[in-house]
Amino acid sequence: MSSELLLSIGAPLLGFIVFFVVQAAGYTSEKVLTLIAALFTIVILVTSPHRGEVALFCVGLLLGFFIEVDLRLLGTQQVWAKASLFGVPYWLPLVWGIGFVIITRIGIIIRNLSL
- Give the start-to-end residue ranges of the domains of the chain: 3-110
What's the rounded Cα separation, in Å, for the pair 8 and 1?
A: 11
Q: Please enumerate in sequence order all residues whose Cβ is within 8 A of that of 80, keeping only pairs 6 or more positions apart, or say none.
A: 87, 88, 89, 92
Q: Regarding predicted confidence, which is higher, 57 or 74? A: 57
Q: What is the pLDDT of residue 96?
A: 94
Q: What are 67-112's pLDDT values in tens digits?
A: 888 876 776 666 666 677 787 888 889 999 999 998 998 888 888 7
pLDDT of 30 strictly over 70: yes
Q: What angle do CA 11, 95, 42 make, to 5 degrees?
A: 55
pLDDT at 87: 77
| pLDDT, position 115 | 58
